Amino acid sequence: MTKISCQVCLDLMPLVKDNVASQESRKLVLEHIRECQCCRNEYENGNDTLPEMNDKRVIQKVKKRLYFAALATVIIGTLIGIGLSEGPGMFYNIIIFPLVGGIAYFVLDKKSFYFPIVLFSLTYIWTLINFIIDSSYTIDSVFNLLSAPVFLSCIYSGLVLFGIVIAFLLKFAFRKEVDYEKDN
């Protein structure tokens, strides 16, 4: 059977004592405490205190997960907004893109002001490809074909920028309020 280290045994002991460990883990711990006097003493006489938590590490993990969840929300929201451009749901973008901009500000902080430029480029390319594939635009000249997607891309980028500015102002206002409360 596989041997485990004392540290692994100590980690598994609370689970074995609470009867929530798997049968394999239970067998490993019992086999280990038969051979190791130190772990046997800990198993029989040990206080059932939980190991110390590293708060900073836990907070960093939570922040990292929230960051990726918010980043995924920005990406998915952007894709939904661009997808709604082709139908009657287009007017939901008036709500979606400022929200995406606000979330982007809290995720990307100072770098969020680059997001409207990236969004402009992506929506321009997407709209241009749609015009070419659908042949929904009469191609009188190359200039008309290339300039047509600019309007929609400017609207979306402007809505995202609007959301970023609102998020910036809210953060600024709440920071001032906290500073005011500290002073008084």
Q: What is this structure's pTM?
A: 0.61
Give the model confidence (pLDDT) of 59-94 as tens digits: 899 989 988 998 898 889 888 888 887 778 788 888
Low-confidence ranges of the chain (pLDDT < 70): 1, 46-53, 135-141, 184
DSSP code per residue over the chain: -----HHHHHHHHHHHHTT-S-HHHHHHHHHHHHH-HHHHHHHHH---PPPPP-HHHHHHHHHHHHHHHHHHHHHHHHHHHHHGGGSGGGGGHHHHHHHHHHHHHHHHGGGGGGHHHHHHHHHHHHHHHHHHHHT-S--S-HHHHHHHHHHHHHHHHHHHHHHHHHHHHHHHHHHHHHHHHHH-
Domains of the chain: which residue ranges?
6-45, 55-183
